[in-house]
Amino acid sequence: MDVEQLENTFLPKESRAKSGRDNIFAWYARYQQAKALGEPAINGTVGSLLENDGSLAVNSVVSETLRAQEDVDISSYAPLAGLPEFIELAPELAIGPRLAGLHELGLHTSAVATPGGTGALYLSARTALAVGDTILLRSLHWSPYDRLAQECGLKVAHWPIIPEEVTNHPKVDLPALEEELESIASDNPRVLAWLNDPAHNPTGLSLDQAGRELVLDAFIGCARAHPEKGVTLLLDTAYAVYAEEPYGWSETICSKFAWVEWPENLLICWAFSASKSHTIYGMRCGAIVFLHPSEDYVNRVAEVCTVTGRGTWSLAPRLPQATLLAIHRDEDKAAAWAAERDRLLEMLHKRRRAFNEAVLSSGMPLLPSDDGYFAYLPCDLAQEVAERAAEDFLYVIPMSGGVRVGLCSIPDDEVERAAEVLINAWRAVTG
């Protein structure tokens, strides 16, 4: 038999549909090859923060604390839901200083440890929706969102990343959001949306207070219009600590529900990831955090997620949970971690300022790029622009509708050259 016949023999159609190499790692491999050949290659591909010498940026407080953990935390299983102390810590890390204020408003939290933020996304999809339901995403998003939705058997709907026409906010197309929410709520038994904010991947866009409030009002309005249907908003805050307002959503939620009644059919969740905040990408440490007025319900949904996790990845790794506890339950270590985080944050800010200034003076289009790891050039000829940039040894990621630039991996002294190469590539391709 040839391969196709063997595929048909062994694999169902859902498995046969899976093919291709990950686009990001393919372009990263091209960068590595050029670098190995001695070319002046610039790496704008990966979603990892690199130092100016090209080495992985690692928060030394985290790595030192990781290596100092006891054998039981290195080798033993964690409880299925996560270490009890970590389950208490996760809402603090995800929600921030406003957690106490939200509790004072009568809201309750619970959490379940997950293998990274991706695990939190998966649990929300498996818990809040059934096969055949529709999930709401922004029109531009982290590409594995689509794979996660497919693996869970979900349909996908979109609302624009920025308004396509003039609206009352430059970053929120409120009519489009409300229309999609109404359509999903009318045709589905429940609603789930993933919102990657602040420091959106792949653009670096962050909503301000006014933008967050518009989005929150849309979900409140949907919940009130359909009181028989659960409405869940999951905030993917993977890059939040590298934003000007890392806990902006907590501020918005706290101020809103200080005077507005929370609809009982509205659930807000956070997908917390320690990958970027604690520079332990491969340790796969994260959590899904729930916020709702019913303590019984947040505990029940945590139980459901724990059972789902048991049947998917068994349990989340213990070592990184213990490490985060050792840092954030020690005042001195927490302060040292924060100081190193601030150093990395300033490095990102410096690169972004230089890149944005170069691009904005050139006339090349750029989606709003405020925070985090990335910038994004909207372009219908993304593959051609990336290939042209590679001729001058800048390696970036072509996507459907644009080019992602990993500012996180470009050294300070190469940012202006990277911008110049990208501008020239764009001009050469688009005329």
Residue type, 131: V
Q: What's the CA gap between 162 and 205, in Å, rounded?
A: 10
- Two tokens at 305? 């997620």
H or E element in which residue 377 lies? strand 374-378
Picking from 157, 178, 247, 234, the residue whose alpha carbon sits closest to that of residue 207 is 247
Picking from 24, 117, 30, the residue whose alpha carbon sits closest to that of residue 404 is 24
pLDDT for residue 427:
96
Q: Decide if 235 contacts 91 (C-beta within 8 A).
A: no
Q: Residue 403 in 3-state DSSP?
A: strand
Q: Residue 293 in 3-state DSSP?
A: coil
Q: Residue 401 in 3-state DSSP?
A: coil
Residue 286 φ/ψ, nearest 5 degrees: -160, -170
- Two tokens at 317? 């790794």
Q: Residue 129 in 3-state DSSP?
A: coil
User: Helix H segments across 110-247?
Assistant: 116-128, 144-151, 174-187, 209-225
pLDDT for residue 6:
86
pLDDT for residue 276:
96
User: Helix H segments across 287-392?
Assistant: 295-310, 318-328, 331-360, 382-391
Q: Sign of the C-alpha dihedral, residues 218, 222, 223, 225? A: positive
Q: For the domain made up of 79-316, give the CATH fold.
A: Aspartate Aminotransferase; domain 2 (3.40.640)
pLDDT for residue 21:
73
Overall CATH class of domain 3-59+335-430 = alpha beta
pLDDT for residue 256:
97
pLDDT for residue 164:
86
Report the number of secondary-structure helices (H) and strands (E) in the chain: 18, 12
Question: In the chain, which residues have pLDDT < 50?
Answer: none
pLDDT for residue 230:
98
Domain-wise residue ranges, the chain: 3-59+335-430, 79-316
pLDDT for residue 361:
85
What distances in angstroms separate CA 161 from CA 171, 367, 389, 406, one per listed residue?
7, 9, 25, 19
